[in-house]
Structure 1
Amino acid sequence: MYIQQIEPTERYLNPEDVNVPQGYQIEVFATGLDTPIGLVFTEEGGLLVAEAGVSTGNPRVLFLVEGRFEVIADGFNVPITGINYRNGDIYVSHRGVITILREDGTREDIISGLPSFGDFSNNNVTFGPEGKIYFGQGTATNSGVVGLDNQWIFEHPYFHDQPGDFILARGVNYETTNAFIPAAESAMTGPFRPYGEPSLLPVEVVRGTIEASGSILRANPDGSDLELVAWGLRNPSCIKFDLNNNLYIANQGMTNRGSRPIANAPDEFHMFVPNQWYGWPDFSAGMPVSAPRFTPEGRPQPELLLYNIPSVPPRPLASFPANSYIMGFDFNYSSEFGPVGDAYIAEFGSIRYEETGELILTGIGHRISRININTGQTSTFSINKSGFPAVTPLEGGLGRPTDVKFGPDGAMYVTDFTATTLRDPNEFIPNTGVIWRISRSQF
């Protein structure tokens, strides 16, 4: 079944441009969506899609009815970052808020005021075996220091990262031109402080908080009794329990930008360990960022921000190259589709290096990868035959995959954010989002 929601603009689509393993087939399931960030199937087999709203300013939740998507809710904070469903309730994560859409048409913000004014927001809700909800909370900054790469400082000048426990922060400061008064002297900013506020002592105590930056939080289904269960992540873009009640985390690693750039930091796929510090902002994939491999070209070696670490951070089950931007994932439980229990994950990818502007058109991201849960080994499951993301006029395949879900028919469904341009990789063209369907070939 092929579904066209709105007349798509400026996006050429051709499933023949996408490589899938022998014995599989890929097809366009739906077009004309606006920045689809995630999808979920209801217990009855219905399909819900969340549109992030970054190109229109109006995030929406859609429901597939008789071959066409209908808008069932809109007006959320930009962006929606995740959607889930249980017992008739739709859980929508959007900037700073988690909202329930109920069967009777009412909506309730069950959690609000989350620290999501910065680079990364609160992310998708998942359901724990004890009946609680879990979700990830992203950080304010790339690596613990507010700088000129954080354009949100003009609207939220006092916002900054907060740890999940009492820490001792080193009294290091990072100098930039003054963003607020360009003609003034330079600004000095310390770790875990607002922009332009320097550290004054060699070692400073920073108080921890439940709503910590880069954390996993847990609450009752009505949003009450919010508690911190882990921190030290950067952007836990997706979390999900498997059938064995193990929680897995897709965490996007630090990048080569800002006042404290970190080079070559991989994205991480973790099996959750409760009450654990995962290493941010001083460790990447279990390694200190003061190691030579993390030093950006032409920049100083990164300094550690913490005087003493809360715990030894774990190494991830699987790692992905820097700038993969791993997103939504799901587990396969159909032996007819493939190995039972393995995870399949969307890699949003990058179009340009964030500092140099050098094009990234192949080799990193823009694909669906498979993770062997037993060994942590990763492999590419689906990628464009050219190796290029669909940003060129003649490329009709995957662009920026955002989520993977297995449907009641056993097929894999993939949301593909939108068409973009080489001129500006962050210019998302409205109504060019796609859902792809990958299934076993019939012959």
Structure 2
Amino acid sequence: MRRFTSCSNRRREAPFARGDRGVGTPLVLAFACMLPLTVNAAVVANPLCPAETALYDPGNGQDISVPSGYVVSVFASGLNFPTGIAFRATNGVNFEVYVLESGHGLPAGNNCNDEAVFQQRFPGQANPFTPDIRVFSRNGRLLRTLGKPTDATTATGGNNVLQPHGPAVDIAFENGLQGGRLFGSDSNQATHAHNGQNNSSRIVIIDPQSGAVTPFISNLPTGDHPTEEFAFKGGWIYWSQGSTTNSGVVGLDNGGGQNQPDIPCQDIVLSQNVFDSGNGVKSSGYSPFGVAQPGATVKAFTGATYKGVCDGAILRARLDASDPSSTIQPYSWGYRNGFALRFAPQNHVLKGALVVGENGPDERGARPSNGAPDAMHIARQNDDGTPDYHGWPDRYGFLASAQHVFDPV
């Protein structure tokens, strides 16, 4: 069990006491939104809000600096918010490139990026606000599209497809370039309804040919961040499970206070601090909105759908299990959003360690922070099988979250 000892009541005060994928072929993807494959500059408009325009000019990679002997060229363009990429060898020197388009991200609040509204206004047209996977040949020719939802007005999006409200965040083959099963992460995080968002994250398996989507693990925590990136090693799938809040406290920025609180990976003792969302509503960390329980003990995995599930963490599960959800383990925790995830090579100075890139907290909600850093971490499960701890939400980088450098402005 971990105990928090700070005494300050400043709003950023800590809420609790903390108890390889790769390919050798160089290519460039020029990313854009809702456009055909083109590299011509043009002013384009959002189809749902035509007054919203932007200059689209993907160029030809001329601003990318590469070592002598390398040449940058456009492989594919006109993609809709791509977030993941995977490669699979086919035969000889040939390979396929799989690009995940995330679909709807965060709610705009004005229907300008709403997949259901697009379907209603433009029936029968391909919906740019729902996720899918584009498969390209080695020459950049589009071969097929996988997992595209057929109905953006429902929670499921149709049968055996990605969830329609997004975002979908990552894809990866379990055996890297040699293929095997294609895994993906999706959610309905972007839905406007809080009860459609909570626990909507999934790890799924996508058929590389038909695109049929089969759940691998469902009902994972979802809030500010969903289930995100993957890594594979030793018969395990590892994934980043982002925090459900910005900084450990459910505030009005979390679905008006209705989204799920963070789930600890170990028993924790809350500090004496409570956090004010206005109108007299005060909440403790790791607690539902409006629940003040200073000094309370919150047991590991409180609120989780499975034992072993927590957030702000790196989780793992067995690839060969008939029921993978029963094998979930927390490997490392104490991250707001451990978005980037890679194992170092075994012959590297890090000796195969798991490297985690973390996105730091924002200045918003009941516990805002200014200037919190992004950070890189080395994640290592402890020898006794417990997850190692990396500081969030008590510490940002190497500094306590109570430091004045993080005061809101």
**Superposed pair shares fold, TM > 0.5:** yes
Work out the CA distance in 2 between the residues paired with 1:174 and 1:36. Answer: 37
Q: 1:2 to 1:273 in 2, by over 3 A?
A: closer
Amino acid at match of 2:362: T
Superposed counterparts of 1:386-397, under 5 Å: none
Q: Tell me which residue corresponds to 1:277.
A: 389
Q: Deviations over 1:296-333 (max 9, x none)?
A: 23xxxxxxxxxxxxxxxxxxxxxxxxxxxxxxxxxxxx
The corresponding residue for 1:288 is: 400
- Structure 1: state its 5+ residue gaps: 178-184, 298-443
| Residue of structure 2 equivalent to 1:37 | 83
Question: Which residue does the alignment assign to 2:135?
Answer: 63
Structure 2 residue aligned with 1:49? 99
Change (3 A) 1:152 1:115: farther
Partner of 1:70, secondary structure, is strand
Q: What is the match of residue 11 of structure 2?
A: none
For residue 80 of structure 1, report the CA deviation from its aligned partner: 0.5
Counterpart in 2 of 1:207? 299
Cα-to-partner distance string for 1:83-140 (whole Å, 9 max, x where unaligned): 1013331101112100001356343201000001x10011122111x11110010001
Distance 2:142 2:276 in 1: 53
1:93 to 2:195 alignment = no
| Structure-2 separation of matches of 1:133 and 1:144 | 26
Q: 1:88 touches 1:103 (CA, 8 Å); kept in 2?
A: no
Equivalent residues, number = 283
Pick the aligned partner of 1:263 from 343, 367, 370: 370
Structure-2-length-normalised TM-score: 0.64
Per the TM alignment, residue 148 of structure 1 is displaced from its structure 2 partner at its CA by 2.2
Contact 1:18 1:26 in 2 (8 A): no
Unmatched segments (≥5 aa) in structure 2: 1-26, 39-43, 45-54, 105-112, 114-127, 150-161, 188-200, 302-307, 347-351, 382-386
Asked if 2 retains the 8 angstrom alpha-carbon contact of 1:3 and 1:68, the reply is no
Deviations 1:183-220 (A, max 9, x none): xx432122111122222x4x110111121120111101
Task: Give secondary structure in 2 for the equivalent of 1:18.
Answer: coil
**Aligned residue type for 2:343:** F
* 2:274 corresponding residue in structure 1: 173
In structure 1, what is the equivalent of residue 229 of structure 2? 124
What percentage of aligned pairs have identical amino acids? 26
Give distance in 2, aligned partners of 1:122 and 1:111.
11
Which SS does the other structure have where 1:63 is aligned?
Answer: strand
Give the deviation of 1:60 after TM superposition: 0.3
State the Cα distance separating 1:255 from its structure 2 match: 2.0
1:23-47 Cα distance to aligned partner (Å, 9 max, x none): 3543322111111111111133210
3-state secondary structure, aligned to 2:130: coil
SS of residue matched to 1:32: coil
Which residue of the partner structure matches residue 138 of structure 1? Answer: 242
Q: Is the 8 A contact 2:134 2:142 kept in 1?
A: no
Question: Which structure has more strand as a fraction of its residues?
Answer: 1
Kept after mapping to 2: 8 A contact 1:145/1:193: yes
- For normalisation by structure 1, the TM-score amounts to 0.59
Which structure ranks higher in relative contact order (CA pairs < 8 Å, sequence separation ≥ 6)?
A: 1
Q: How far is the alpha carbon of 1:64 from its aligned partner? A: 0.7
The reply to whether residue 164 of structure 1 matches residue 275 of structure 2 is no
Q: In the alignment, what sits opposite 1:403?
A: none
